[in-house]
Structure 1
């Protein structure tokens, strides 16, 4: 394997040597990024999951391996540090290869954002000391990109200590970057090494300081940004520094107020997915025609370039590939660089899909794996399988490469008025309704015991305390509940409705639920211990109506299943809840994720089975 990797690196270095400096150095000038004379429009994608893992992108769903930290720890505990490092090199050599940069170029792209984990360069066992081969993978990526006329933006996606609780920063639920000053010190040191290394590389467009650092207030983020900026500028004034806002870029302040030069501001926006509005063409039009001009005005006021660092339309219902072209067109109109998320994701071939995160995916089914039990050879084969034959998202490629302008989007209609009072509160017969810490009382329209429209408020079921409306029956022992959801009105992208098995009616109870969000995404959520933060897993789900959900309790185990219309059940996630008592609360629930209004959810085919003889097989 070492010889194979040496061959790859040597070949790339040799073939790219003659192309060194073939890309012009870029600078921030006013609100544009320029080559010193003219604006340069960077149009590209994110090479996610290459230098920092997001296990969902590998189609790896394991409750105990949810991030790169646990992925590597599992390998190291089983095989030792040498084999762990060798396996990680095999993974990186196969997730992205030289052909991928050729494919990216064929989409008429000229830029890749490279998310990376600090441990690519530095070990916790030897802080502030570069690994002997620290830069081999970044060198490989930059050289291969440059060979294809592609700029790179280096993004620290996972800092030492973890800058949020999210798994995509390398270690879920850690978030110690902000509480221990040593982690900022290490991060400044690391950026100084990177900036010194690539000072003369024109192919490196810039340094994206910290991805989605949502583990601290903005003022503390700005202080950290300033420290990292100064560390880089001690050794490098050449490359652009990208600094990310959260709600807006104006919260970062004017660059001159911080004495920042040669910088650009950035946001990540996913309208209809993680940002406002449902996954519809009308909502995309509202985003492009209303929200983007606001960002443009902010950038002009601040006199700073703007990068749309991550975005995606995802859903076919929202316009799919055509709408992605419209996004890129709008960003180009404003002279903004833009990098979509993401280039490559592993999926189940021939599975009915509602949308596309990716430009490429696997054409054939990949081997399934349990990293905790598979042999070394099986894991090695699994990691090599990522260099597979692709299915290319040809619709997206065609839209991004065609020269003909698209017809203008129609103006979107105004959004619907919010529901602030439940229009119904029918009496329940075999059910009981409970408000769990909600701000506005909800209600229900009851057609029968198995068909109910539920109106509900509630902030969320996500952290350590829940807010929702619950219609339940009290049961004992093994059981299952199933229901079909026909509608969930959009109050917020994280509104939810679904089925639940719960230990008690306290807002911090042990529970497991299976929910649908307004865009049709599925969420399996559980709390293992009273008062702790929940664990959650997602799925792209189905289009409304007729989304079927099912939870089965067998002892301490909860299994989840889903389907569409009359299709057979598909098993999703399983949770072990040893703290779940024999007597439980089982039912349907809804929450709006907005305490100023109610969401409406429409349930039918609500069914509960309670005895071993009744429990059905999936």
Structure 2
């Protein structure tokens, strides 16, 4: 493998041949997410509850058993077979440093990244390292392991310095590693202004370049990687800009082409929404990468409902559009308990059997933002509460939707969901440490997973550059 470089609008190998980085994200592995693994709330809160409820030995069995099983050489071999050239690996800053001892790095934080990169090198697949949860939190949402719904990175200089020095530490470790395509500095930043994002990017890139002048740096836009106007960095070489392109169609469609409420959606709609986000990137003299996109499936794996089939058809069009505009892309996400993954935990395994009541409870209440899709019983109650309160305030200048959104994100998806985490942990209270490890292996090791075959066929076709097969 060669160290990749940016030449004009292309990513090229050592011989100057263009390389397309297309594949999957390893979401939920080194930065856990509730809908991917099936728990409630945020990873940091889950860790506290597991340690309190199950004790130290079972705590380590739980999390290391999960990480050991979730990704291994078999996963890379499968991905190589279907034509994947790149994987994006989200990780949490807490792998390397504690908030109680900032700046002191635990070298064990590299263990799982190193073994993934070794397996990727063996398979001929490139890795993009993605800081998904930064010190101080780059956005307000649960997926940055944010239990409070408040982003502090943009308002506290200490957090900015910690993020900079963490990237310096990581770049020093991977300098010269050809299997690493580069560094995705921040997942879905939500800075108060584009200038604040520019300033942070410039500072962090400079720190990386001091120790690693060769690897590509991947930069996402503001407002959760959807806004790019005004994005300007001093470092022009070896830069790739990245958007995220989630759509209402691949999340909520019942028919495709067809209507979602008063909105008619078809391929032209998919192309328009892609260009609304990505036109700025296409116009730059840099490569463009869709770092995240994907469809949500509500039915059992490989038992396709009409709605699931419609979303898969929309996803196929989306991938064709990405390829037509010469985009690099990585779909969210590779493996989970049944929401999006190509590889899915067997519904009949011990882990899934134990957490099935929790999954049902989460769906009824709507405690997971990704599953709730702005709906759910609790969200409806909050919306009604705000409407009643606003009637008393009698001032139409207030942004009611913003109030609802803030209460839902902080009150339901963060605080309330975290309070329910002991219900999930209690599902394993009768297990020994060895039994927990065995359970995690059965649930998440590739050899035990179920492959979502029709999704894989769509992705495989897109990786080959051919029109994706259409579901009927």
Tell me, yes or no, whether TM beats 0.5. Answer: yes
Which ranges of structure 2 fall in alignment gaps of 5 or more residues?
Answer: 259-264, 298-305, 356-423
CA shift digits 1:315-335 (9 cap, x unpaired) = 664744444343333323332
Alpha-carbon contact 1:97-1:387 (below 8 Å) kept: no
Aligned equivalent of 1:306: 288
Does the aligned pair in 2 maintain the 1:108–1:400 contact within 8 Å?
A: no
444, 449, 469: which one aligns with 1:387: 444
SS at match of 2:11: strand
Q: Are 1:24 and 2:2 matched, yes or no?
A: yes
Query: CA 1:273–1:67 in 2, change beyond 3 Å: closer, same or farther?
Result: farther
Report the aligned-residue RMSD: 2.9
- Pick one of 311, 324, 337 that aligns with 1:346: 337
Give the 5 Å matches for 1:58-73: 58-60=37-39, 62=40, 66-73=41-48
The answer as to 2:467 corresponding to 1:406 is yes
Offset, 1:228 = 1.4
Q: Displacement, 1:278?
A: 8.5
More strand by share: 1
TM-score by length of 1: 0.56
2:199 aligns with 223
Contact 2:250 2:311 in 1 (8 A): no
Matched residues in 1 for 2:249 and 2:199: separation? 30
Given that residues 93 and 134 in structure 2 are in contact (C-alpha distance below 8 angstroms), is that contact kept between their aligned partners in structure 1? yes
Counterpart mapping for 1:573-584 below 5 A: none
Give the Å deviation of 1:273: 5.5
38, 46, 54: which one pairs with 2:33? 54
Distance 1:186 1:407 in 2: 43
Find out whether 1:213 has 2:161 as its counterpart: no
CA contact (8 A) 1:249 1:299 kept: no
TM-score, normalised via structure 2 length:
0.72
- The answer (yes or no) to whether the contact 1:48–1:344 under 8 Å persists in 2 is yes
Find the residue that maps to 1:171 and give its secondary structure. coil
Q: Secondary structure at the match of 1:142?
A: helix
Match of 2:135 among 142, 160, 177: 160
Deviation of 1:231 (Å): 1.4
Aligned-residue offset at 1:224: 1.8
> Which moved further from structure 2: 201-210 or 160-169?
160-169
Cα distance, 1:277 vs structure 2: 9.0
Which residue of structure 1 aligns with residue 231 of structure 2? 253
**Bigger Cα Rg:** 1
In the other structure, the counterpart of 1:599 is: none
The equivalent of 1:371 in structure 2 is: 425
Check if 1:74 corresponds to 2:49.
Answer: yes
Determine whether 1:89 maps to 2:64.
yes
Is this contact kept in 1: 2:288–2:327, CA < 8 A? yes
Q: How far apart in 2 are the matches of 1:206 and 1:329?
A: 25
Measure the CA separation in 1 of the matches of 2:230 and 2:78: 36
1:109-155 CA-partner distances (Å, limit 9, x unpaired):
11110000011122223211111422111101111112111111000
The Cα shift of 1:172 comes to 2.4
Report the number of matched residues.
Answer: 373
Distance 2:237 2:137 in 1: 27
Structure 2 CA distance for aligned equivalents of residues 274 and 218 of structure 1: 29
**1:210-289 → structure 2 map (5 Å cutoff):** 210-214=186-190, 216-246=192-222, 248=226, 250-255=228-233, 258-272=234-248, 280-281=256-257, 283-289=265-271
Question: After the TM superposition, which residues 492-511 of structure 1 pair with which residues of structure 2 at under 5 Å, given as runs?
Answer: none
Match of 1:204 in 2: 180
Please say if residues 117 and 179 of structure 2, whose CA atoms lie closer than 8 Å, have aligned partners that are also in contact: yes
Tell whether the 8 Å contact from 1:116 to 1:154 is kept in structure 2 after alignment.
yes
Q: Could you tell me how far 1:73 is from its partner in structure 2?
A: 0.9
SS of the aligned residue for 2:248 comes to coil
Match of 1:336 in 2: 327
Q: Determine if contact 1:266/1:308 at 8 Å carries over to the other structure.
A: yes
Aligned to 1:188: 164
Query: What's the offset of the Cα at 1:272?
Result: 1.5
Q: Is the contact made by 1:310 and 1:338 (CA closer than 8 Å) also made in structure 2?
A: yes
Contact (CA 8 Å) 1:46, 1:339: kept in 2 or not?
yes
Considering fraction of residues, name the structure with more helix. 2
Greater mean deviation of Cα atoms: 97-106 or 319-328: 319-328
User: SS of the counterpart of 2:136?
Assistant: coil
Contact conserved, 2:194 with 2:231, CA < 8 A, in 1? no
CA distance in 2, matches of 1:56, 1:168: 10
- For 1:210, what is the secondary structure of its paired residue? coil
- Look up the match of 2:405: none
Superposition map of 1:552-571 within 5 A: none
**C-alpha distance in 1 between matches for 2:269 and 2:5:** 28
* 1:361 to 2:350 alignment: no
